């Protein structure tokens, strides 16, 4: 019986040749399935990746010429006794308004403290000395789309053999300038752990020493295209980017426009503009069961109570935005004419956007994080260039319609992305809210301290986070 069973089983088993064929068939099927998987996960994903149309533009005065000068010219910031004399005359003619008792910075820049700042500006601040400081790094200008685009370009010195610098485009926001990056530049351009950067800091057209657009419609997408062209003109086919405020949006647009040229995108400000059901559910449940909606304990601490920390705080801090997004020329007229008015308008942001609790201080906490020399240097960049009105217009051009209907609102960011979240930022952006737009976040950091002007306020923290992010990309 057992013999008959063994013979039957033997007949059921495949021969050695059949077994070989079966193995070959299985291997072939596995290879075929693997190929299909690669196709669907990689090839089809690439073909489906949407990019932001680059387009073209002309923002110079008059008609576009047949050819444009593409040379890069050295530039140096200059001043004169006449310029300083005019400033002093206007300061001396200022009409101050008495501040309310116990108002601190809750009504805006406290005029009692403003007198002290203006006195320092008039009697101790040395603009000629600061101009020398500004010229410490090489400045350049080049014509792009009809505009003279100003930028600072800092190359590392003494590169070790076998090492190359990583190109890094850093873009400022409002009411900042390229000067925000002066403290972080040496931290990035000096080699550390075999990593060193070659940094390019342009001024947004209409800000500082970049020419203002002569036509309506110059938004972040236009600025992104111009800065992309700048990097190409400098010879960088691949580069990293870093930005906050408008700089965060501009660099995001570049990543959407030309992802194949962007090795990585690092942001310290990324407002969430698209609200969906997932976000609503996270707000309803996040304070009670954060793990169910993707929140961490730190997210809960920074977001809730939501209306107090987000809605009410933003209402208190966003009045300027409504003015600049609707009638920038009206408000800007007075600011462009009065240096003291300009200083109050700008410096108030460096108080409350650094720490909202500074509103309750008589001096606005200005010198807790910054020196008056640094703050007034940034103000002077706006004053001597007469760029306040044109910088304010950037809000009008970007917020003139529904943000969710902008072309960049419908396109994700697929390049490696690093997000540095500072605790005193105007709005907190949890990772789960960032991911619908930024599809490839490889670094998300809860920073220990700092507010909106990260590079200006906490250069060491920001520089270290940029380095850690780039190391992850380069692995």
Our answer to whether residue 4 is catalytic in this structure is: no
- DSSP-H helix ranges across 234-276: 246-257
What are the two backbone dihedrals, phi and then psi, of residue 432, each rounded to the nearest 5 degrees?
Answer: -65, -25
Give dist(CA 442, CA 412) in Å, integer.
Answer: 15
* Active-site position among 240, 382, 395, 444: 395
Our answer to whether residue 266 is catalytic in this structure is: no
Distances (CA, A) of 279 to 266, 291, 409: 23, 14, 16
C-alpha dihedral, 395 to 355 to 169 to 431, nearest 10°: -90
Tokens of 408: 């960049």
- The helix/strand count (H/E) of the chain reads as 23, 9
Our answer to whether residue 207 is catalytic in this structure is: no
Residues 6+ apart with CB under 8 A from 24: none
How far, rounded to the nearest angstrom, does the alpha carbon of residue 201 sit from its chain's CA centroid?
A: 12
Q: Do the beta carbons of residue 432 and residue 295 sit within 8 Å?
A: yes
Q: Residue 175, preceding bond cis, omega within 30 degrees?
A: yes
Report the run of H or E that residue 154 belongs to, with start and end.
strand 147-154
Residues 6+ apart with CB under 8 A from 268: 242, 243, 244, 248, 419, 420, 421, 422, 425, 454, 455, 462
* Active-site position among 148, 172, 228, 245: 245
Length of the chain counted residue by residue: 475
Tokens of 438: 């930024």
Tokens of 142: 């080049």
Give dist(CA 346, CA 338) in Å, integer.
Answer: 12
Q: Do the beta carbons of residue 309 and residue 87 sit within 8 Å?
A: no
Name residue 108's beta-bridge partners: 106
Q: Do the beta carbons of residue 77 and residue 139 sit within 8 Å?
A: yes
Q: Among residues 244, 199, 205, which one has the least CA distance to residue 226? A: 205
* Active-site position among 113, 139, 428, 452: 452
Distances (CA, A) of 398 to 54, 367, 406, 448: 17, 32, 9, 31
For 40, which DSSP code?
I
- Which positions are catalytic? 245, 395, 452
């Amino acid at each position: 019986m057992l013999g008959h069973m063994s013979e039957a089983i033997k007949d059921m088993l495949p021969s050695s040749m059949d077994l070989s064929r079966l193995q070959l068939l299985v291997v072939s099927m596995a290879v075929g399935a693997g190929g299909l998987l690669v196709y669907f996960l990689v090839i089809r994903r690439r073909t489906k990746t949407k990019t932001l149309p680059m387009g073209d533009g002309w923002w110079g005065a008059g008609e576009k010429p047949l050819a444009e000068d593409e040379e890069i010219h050295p530039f140096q910031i200059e001043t004169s006794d006449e310029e300083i004399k005019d400033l002093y005359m206007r300061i001396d003619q200022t009409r101050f308004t008495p501040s309310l008792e116990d108002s601190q910075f809750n009504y805006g820049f406290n005029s009692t403290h403003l007198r002290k700042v203006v006195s320092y500006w008039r009697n101790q601040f040395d603009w000629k000395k600061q101009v020398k400081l500004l010229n410490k790094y090489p400045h350049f200008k080049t014509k792009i789309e009809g505009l003279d685009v100003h930028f600072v370009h800092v190359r590392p010195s003494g590169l070790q053999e076998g090492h190359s610098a990583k190109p890094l485009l850093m873009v400022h926001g409002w009411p900042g300038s390229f000067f925000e990056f002066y403290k972080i530049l040496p931290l990035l351009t000096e080699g550390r752990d075999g990593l060193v950067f070659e940094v390019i800091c342009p001024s947004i057209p209409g800000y500082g020493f970049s020419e203002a657009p002569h036509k309506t419609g110059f938004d972040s997408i236009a600025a992104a295209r111009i800065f992309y062209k700048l990097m190409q003109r400098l010879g960088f086919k691949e580069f990293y980017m870093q930005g906050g405020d408008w700089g965060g949006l501009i660099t995001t647009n570049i990543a959407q426009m030309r992802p194949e040229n962007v090795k990585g995108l690092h942001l310290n400000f990324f407002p969430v503009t698209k609200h969906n059901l997932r976000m609503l559910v996270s707000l309803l449940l996040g304070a009670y069961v954060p793990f169910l909606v993707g929140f961490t304990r730190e997210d809960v601490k920074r977001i809730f109570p939501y209306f107090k920390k987000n809605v009410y705080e933003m209402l208190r801090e966003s009045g300027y935005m409504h003015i600049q997004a609707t009638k920038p020329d009206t408000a800007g007229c007075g600011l462009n004419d009065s240096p003291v008015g300009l200083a109050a308008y700008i410096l108030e942001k460096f108080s409350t956007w650094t720490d909202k609790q500074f509103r309750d201080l008589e001096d606005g906490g200005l010198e807790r994080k910054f020196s008056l020399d640094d703050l007034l240097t940034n103000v002077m960049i706006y004053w001597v260039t007469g760029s306040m009105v044109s910088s304010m217009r950037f809000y009008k051009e970007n917020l003139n319609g529904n943000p969710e209907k902008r072309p960049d609102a419908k396109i994700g960011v697929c390049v490696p992305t690093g997000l540095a979240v500072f605790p005193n930022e105007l709005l907190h952006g949890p990772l789960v809210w960032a991911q619908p737009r930024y599809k490839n976040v490889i670094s998300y950091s809860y920073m220990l301290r700092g507010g909106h002007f990260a590079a200006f306020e906490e250069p060491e923290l920001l520089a270290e986070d940029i380095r850690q992010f780039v190391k992850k990309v380069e692995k």
